[in-house]
Amino acid sequence: SGQLSSARGATGGSVPCSMALQPWVMRVEESAVHSLPPTHNSCRTKLCGYLNKQGGPLKAWKSRWFVYEEKSCQLFYYRMAQDINPLGKVDLFCATFSYPLQGEEGTFHVQTPERTVILKAANRDAQMYWLQQLQLKRTLYREQHAEHLSIPRPDNHKLESTPSELVSLLHKVLEAAQLEKRTCAQFLAAEGEQEHLELLRHGERRAAELRDHLESLQQENENLRRDLNQRDANIAELQESVQLLIQKNQAKQEVILKLSEKLAVCGEDKQYTSGLRSEALKQLTIENENLKDDLKAYKTQNQYLNSEIYHLTTLWRKSSEREQSLIVKCAVLEANSCQMESRYLGILQKLQESKELNPEQREAVKKVVKDAVRADLSTAIKLNSIRDYDEYGFKIAMDYKVEDLKLLAKIQALEIRSQNLLNQEECDGPLLARCAQLLFGRPEGELTSSTELKNLLRTGLPREYRARVWRFMIQSRNKSLKERHPDRYQELCEKSRTSPHLVPRQIQLDLDRTLTSNQYFSPPSSTLIQKLERVLQAFSWQNPTIGYIQGLNRLAAIALLVLQDEEDAFWCLVVVVDYIMPHNYYTNDLVGCQADQRVLKDLMSEKLPRLTAHLEALKVDVSLITVEWFLVLFIESLPTRILFKVWDAFLYEGLKVIFRYALALFKYKEEIILKINDSAEMYQYLRIFPNTIVDGRKLTSIAFNDMNPLPMKLLQNRRATHLERLHAEIKELENLRKAYKAEHVQCKEKELDTLASEDEEEV
């Protein structure tokens, strides 16, 4: 502290701090070096010196020798300069610096994530020196350990100086005079007429050149004159501005004079001066000085804090960039880890099914499988723990009840996690950019159908844009109906409230069975359950021919999850049932759906002949499985991520999307299905295999590339053919039913006649 005080006195009282700082710094370093022991010879280039440190239960100040270590960016402190072992250290890599305004002079704080160290220098100059040096050392250390890009600075262009115009003009005049003199001498020296004429022609040519040169000079002179006039005009404008500023200044000076006069009058007013006590005036003067000191301190602190904020922002930005890079690397590593664990569990599953193992090996494999199933996935080292539900509230992995399928569920969860991690960058980057480019600045009603929109829908919409695009596709199909009845939904809800006895009772029974694997529909008191009930009741009034059948509840629930608004969900259900699906799809006999099952079988025999032959050999009827796919559009059959891809394309292209994905599912798992040779096992696998699909991009590629061509006209023609056959079969069954009923009535009449005749004989 003695060194710092002597250094301060050397600067002089009238010299500003910024002018006196540099020589004071040199003296501090020199004096600090002389006080070091031989073991600290390297401190000549280091930041070191005595500071008071607050510590202990009593918060007492203790003098300590502080040394900054550049290699580790740490501030070590010793009891004395001659000590070898430090008492402690302060890590400055993540530290911030500040100082209190109302504290003791020279006090400043070093804040680290672990603690706050309070230090005190000899005076304010020493305090600012330490703060600036520590801040500089921290920045230099971080820049040495972090990659950064250097920004090239633009070259400074210097203007070349031009020669004096006056000297150039004099040279030109002199050359012209000499040329004229030589010409006259040549003319006088010429002897013949021919030479005289030649000299005259040369003079004419020279005169013409000079005239041209004169014209160019006149043009240049005119340009310069215009430039000069322009500059004069600019100067005039500037003079007017200066004059205006002078007038404003004069007005302000007059105001100042008036205020000064008023102040003088107030000072001369005896009544005012006599009422003001000298003690109060002194107090006000002291307070004014204190406020000036505080203002100066606040300005200094503000400058320092601005500098600190700038440095911290730079450090935070670099740290964020490194953190983002590490997050991406961790996500890739986590995806690879999930893939390896999934392969390991798949191998265990195959070993469990192998018949070549002896009993001991089989028992060991069974134990390993049991341990793998019981292992908690969250114990793995991952960036984010595996969530049970996705963003729409669906369970990510299936909850199989059968013990043999629990290993399959865990494999599926790992594969889904791996695919989500690998596809996350694609979904967050290019796909969002494509959607933003297509939808930017357009209201929902102004979206137009295009090939680009169709390709985007086949790829799958990001969640941020799905509701908006769905509303556009719904509005494009039912625009005329909604314009004729803008308050249709409210009117239907009012009907349901006033006539509850006419609402199908099955709606209330199916509410609790709707999307049981979704957390938003699980509690009976959920708001979505209440919205779903109103939507289904309104639809039963909207389409009394259908009213309500099982399956509509799941269609409306998906619409609610995406659109959130119950009126939008109602119109979505109307569009799906009345506009997209065939009119006889949701009738009591499901004749439209039955016809599509036959169309699907025809397409499978054409595009998947091996699989079709294998299923026919096992006498497996796939329509028992696929009929639910078509009725509820794969709800609770496909993983959520793929399900919404299907719905995105379905709302735009129609029912042929369902055919494409149904064929793609069988193509995706064709090799596995061909290995199953038991019909019961086949039915069990066909019920669960769509939920085991994890690679949505591969499935989409199969649906829209491998299944081509699949025109809508072909589907319509085949549906019409099968509908005709179905109607004939239904009519035949109806005739058989009527014949059986008539025969049954005749048999009963004969039995009654026989019993009556027997009674008469007994009598």
Q: Is the pLDDT of residue 7 over 70?
A: no
pLDDT-derived band at 631 (thresholds 50, 70, 90) equals very high
- Where is average pLDDT lowest: 25-34, 250-259, 327-336? 25-34
Q: Is the pLDDT of residue 658 over 90?
A: yes
Mean pLDDT, range 673-692, rounded to an integer: 91
- Looking at residue 319, its pLDDT comes to 81
pTM exceeding the 0.75 threshold for the entire prediction: no
Buried b (16+ CB within 10 A) or exposed e, 337-347: bbbebbeebee
- Looking at residue 6, its pLDDT comes to 32
Report the chain's C-alpha Rg in angstroms. 47
The residue among 433, 474, 419 whose CA lies nearest residue 648 is: 474
CB distance 660 to 704 below 8 Å: yes
Q: Is the pLDDT of residue 125 over 80?
A: yes
What are the residues whose beta carbons fall under 8 Å from the beta carbon of 430, sequence distance 6 or more? none
Which ranges of 427-505 does DSSP label H, i.e. alpha helix? Answer: 432-439, 451-459, 463-484, 488-498
CB distance 460 to 645 below 8 Å: yes
The residue among 146, 121, 145 whose CA lies nearest residue 134 is: 121
Q: pLDDT for 660-681, tens place per residue?
A: 999 999 999 999 999 999 999 9
- Looking at residue 411, its pLDDT comes to 60
- Token pair for residue 32? 């600090």
Residue 589 φ then ψ, to 5°: -90, -5
Homologous superfamily of 420-725:
Ypt/Rab-GAP domain of gyp1p, domain 3 (1.10.472.80)
Residue 69 φ then ψ, to 5°: -100, 115
- Looking at residue 167, its pLDDT comes to 82
Strand 107-111 and strand 88-91: the pairing is unpaired
Tokens 């010879």 correspond to what residue? 41
- 3 state SS of 192: coil
- Looking at residue 408, its pLDDT comes to 58
- Looking at residue 452, its pLDDT comes to 86
- Strand 116-120's sheet: what is its strand order? 88-91, 74-78, 60-69, 48-55, 116-120, 107-111, 96-98
Q: Is the pLDDT of residue 146 over 70?
A: no
- 3 state SS of 482: helix
What is the spatial distance between Cα 555 and Cα 461, in angstroms, rounded to a whole number?
Answer: 19
What is the spatial distance between Cα 34 and Cα 52, in angstroms, rounded to a whole number?
Answer: 20
Tokens 């026919």 correspond to what residue? 616
What is the spatial distance between Cα 530 and Cα 74, in angstroms, rounded to a whole number?
Answer: 63
CB distance 105 to 99 below 8 Å: no
Q: How far is CA 755 from the centre of its chain?
A: 86
Annotated domain spans of the chain: 2-144, 281-396, 420-725
Q: Is the pLDDT of residue 332 over 90?
A: no
* Percent of the chain predicted with pLDDT > 90: 36
CB distance 558 to 651 below 8 Å: no
CB distance 654 to 599 below 8 Å: no
Q: pLDDT for 451-484, tens place per residue?
A: 888 988 998 888 888 999 999 999 999 989 989 9
- Looking at residue 694, its pLDDT comes to 81
The residue among 697, 698, 695, 676 whose CA lies nearest residue 685 is: 676
Mean pLDDT, range 171-186, rounded to an integer: 77
- Looking at residue 35, its pLDDT comes to 35
pLDDT-derived band at 760 (thresholds 50, 70, 90) equals low
Q: Is the pLDDT of residue 160 over 50?
A: no
Which ranges of 117-269 does DSSP label H, i.e. alpha helix? Answer: 124-144, 165-189, 193-268
Which CATH architecture does the domain made up of 2-144 adopt? Roll (2.30)
Q: Is the pLDDT of residue 364 over 70?
A: yes
Q: pLDDT for 709-743, tens place per residue?
A: 899 999 999 999 999 999 999 899 888 888 888 78
- 3 state SS of 442: coil
- Looking at residue 28, its pLDDT comes to 35
Q: pLDDT for 265-312, tens place per residue?
A: 876 665 555 665 677 778 888 889 889 988 888 888 888 888 888 888
Q: How far is CA 422 from the centre of its chain?
A: 16
The residue among 14, 12, 29, 30 whose CA lies nearest residue 129 is: 29
- Looking at residue 474, its pLDDT comes to 93
Q: pLDDT for 13-39, tens place per residue?
A: 333 333 333 333 333 333 333 333 333
Tokens 């002949």 correspond to what residue? 609
Q: Is the pLDDT of residue 217 over 80?
A: yes
- Token pair for residue 685? 């696998």
- Looking at residue 156, its pLDDT comes to 44
- Looking at residue 273, its pLDDT comes to 59
DSSP per residue over 333-359, as a string? HHHHHHHHHHHHHHHHHHHHH-SSS-H
Q: Is the pLDDT of residue 595 over 90?
A: yes
What are the residues whose beta carbons fall under 8 Å from the beta carbon of 485, sequence distance 6 or more? 491
Query: Across the chain, which distance is largest between two alpha carbons, in Å?
Result: 184
CB distance 26 to 34 below 8 Å: no
pLDDT-derived band at 396 (thresholds 50, 70, 90) equals low
Residue 733 φ then ψ, to 5°: -65, -40
Residue type, 759: D
pLDDT-derived band at 11 (thresholds 50, 70, 90) equals very low
C-alpha atoms less than 13 angstroms from C-alpha of 443 in its C-beta half-sphere: 3
Q: Is the pLDDT of residue 316 over 70?
A: yes
Cis status, amide bond into 711, omega within 30 of 0: no
Mean pLDDT, range 511-540, rounded to an integer: 89
